[in-house]
Each structure stands twice: as structure tokens, then as C-alpha cells.
Amino acid sequence: MKAKFLGMAVLSFVAVLVAACASTTPYQSMQSRLQQQMTTLTSLDQKLNATQDPALRQQLLSQKRQALQEGITLINQAQTDKLDANRACIARQKNLPTDVHTCFEEESLEDAQTRMMSVVLRELVAAESR
């Protein structure tokens, strides 16, 4: 009875694992997602510069605002992921000898600058939408 139950549990686990791995959405690295967002913004800029139609311009501006907000969200997610990874690394190395350190800070100057730029961008997009 226990063997049958264990077998069913393993089979259920495998079924869930296969379903999770069978996602139709391919993995994209954060870098490729950011690059894709920049390409989208560049394309929208080119379309905006090429059109004289006021209705189309408004539609493109709305799409551009949305793309900017998505880009800001991606930047924030990348920064949050990096900050979390740095914090976890610092926590793990607390148990190591004092001369063995690979993580030195939660957030570098460049990380803080990037975070600040995303805040500024978010505010600019919000102000433009008002």
C-alpha cells in the first residue's frame, strides 16, 4: 500500500514538473528583454518622426508611454534581483573565514545610480501623462 502511494506521489510530482517545463513561453534573459524593449522604443521613435497624422501620433505616443513604463519595470526588476542576490551572497559568506569574501556590498554606486534613473524616468513618464 505504501509503495503504491509513493508511486502515485512520484507520478503526480513528475506530471506537475513536466507541465511546468512544458511552458510555451521561452526563457529570455533580462539583458535580452531590456534589449528588446530598447528596440521597441527606437522603432516607436522612428514611426513618430515619420508620421504627420495627429491620430496616429497620439496612438504611437500612448504605445511609447506604455513601452517606457514596461522598460522601467524591467530595470527595477533587474535591480531588485541583483540586490536580493547580493544580500543572499553576503548572508552566506558570514559563515566563511574572514579572509574569504566574494561579496562586499549590497548595492554598488552604479546600481544606486540606475535605481535613481528609473525613479526619475518613472516620474517623467507620469508627468507627461498628466
pLDDT digits (tens, 9 = 90+) for 6-50: 445 444 544 444 454 555 667 788 889 989 999 999 999 999 999
Residue scoring higher pLDDT (73 or 127): 73
8 Å CB contact between 79 and 114? yes
pLDDT value at residue 108:
85
pLDDT value at residue 101:
67
Over residues 106-126, the mean pLDDT reads: 87
Residue span of the structural domain in which 82 resides: 65-130
Helix (H) or strand (E) holding 23: none
The SS3 of residue 53 is coil
Specify if 114 maps to a domain.
yes
Domain count, the chain: 1
pLDDT-derived band at 57 (thresholds 50, 70, 90) equals very high
Specify if 82 maps to a domain.
yes
pLDDT value at residue 16:
47
- DSSP type of residue 104: -
pLDDT value at residue 39:
93
The predicted model scores a pTM of 0.67
Helix boundaries (H) for the chain: 2-21, 30-50, 54-93, 109-129
Closest CA to 68 of 16, 14, 129: 129
Whole-number mean pLDDT of the chain? 80
Q: How many CB atoms lie within 10 A of CB 75?
A: 19
Specify if 128 maps to a domain.
yes
pLDDT value at residue 95:
79
Specify if 125 maps to a domain.
yes
pLDDT value at residue 11:
47
Specify if 16 maps to a domain.
no
Specify if 89 maps to a domain.
yes
Specify if 28 maps to a domain.
no
pLDDT value at residue 51:
92
Specify if 93 maps to a domain.
yes
